[in-house]
Amino acid sequence: MHFIKTNLSTIQKICLAGLLMALTIVLQKVIAVNYLAFAPFVRLSFGGPALIIFSSILLGPIYGALIGLGSDLLGYLIFDPRLYPPFLQITAIYTLLGLASYFIFSFVFALKNKKVMAIIEIASFIAIWLTISSYVIFSDEITLLFSTYTISSLSKVLVPIISFVIFVGLIIFSLFYKSKRAQLFISPLHICFASFITDILVIVIFGSIMKAWAFGFQTFLAIILCQAITMFFNVLLDAVFITTFFSFTGKYFVKEFNHARK
């Protein structure tokens, strides 16, 4: 049973899916940072993953998976075929993102205890931040990794500081964001928490394994560290984008929203 019921017909869903896929390609390939000095192996997309997640929630897991799959494959064929061979492992990440987001958000949206959710979210982020910061600052392995990618030692200090600032911004947004247009839907705290779980499971864990498979498992440490660092930025972007998408589109597309299911 869908936790969001739309007033869209099958034809309308297909047309909307095509539009969302095209927008995702633009966000993933055009409006994106394809290389970060402090986070190799990571593309920083300004809303691409968020749009895949939004598609999954609004249209269902099958549409979400197809949009994730199609946006990565078509994006590669349009922009990258002469630069490097296709990596189907990367395509698998976005396909799973589109498929799994629906079920993760469905589960989180059914939770009613916001205090417990906020405590878990904050505690988890603090634990991850402390782990990453300690490793980045004190580990000899990370010093060697940074030197390998010609990253300045200043990054060892900037990474914990920037990630903490983003984390504070996420907490402020999730706890204090208010929008009359978004009253039909669950709170931004639910969206932040669901985005966090989605990013951890799909992008950080599954994504790191797939990228290590593509680039060689000797790179796994570098990849999972970079994925964990950029997770702070990704979750904030996802939360803001998804909340905004629903604020502006909910009244046009959504017929009924089931806040909780037994």
Residue of 162 and 137 predicted with greater confidence: 162
Mean pLDDT within 137-141: 67
Domain boundaries of the chain, sorted by first residue: 4-257
At 37 the three-state DSSP class reads coil
Give the single-character DSSP code of 257. E
pLDDT digit string (tens) for 175-208? 777 655 444 456 788 889 999 999 999 999 999 9
Instruction: Give the model's pLDDT for residue 198.
Output: 96
Chain-wide mean pLDDT for the chain? Answer: 82
Mean pLDDT within 118-122: 88
Report how far residue 259's alpha carbon sits from residue 128's, in angstroms, rounded to the nearest whole number. Answer: 29
Instruction: Give the model's pLDDT for residue 93.
Output: 95
pLDDT tier at 117, thresholds 50, 70, 90:
confident
Q: How far is CA 91 from CA 52, 53, 56, 260, in A?
A: 13, 15, 16, 32
Burial 108-125 (b: 16+ CB within 10 A, else e): bbebeeeeebbeebeeeb
Which listed CATH number (2.40.50.140, 1.10.1760.20, 1.10.287.470, 3.40.470.10) goes with 4-257?
A: 1.10.1760.20
Report the DSSP beta bridge partners of residue 219.
Answer: none
pLDDT tier at 1, thresholds 50, 70, 90:
very low
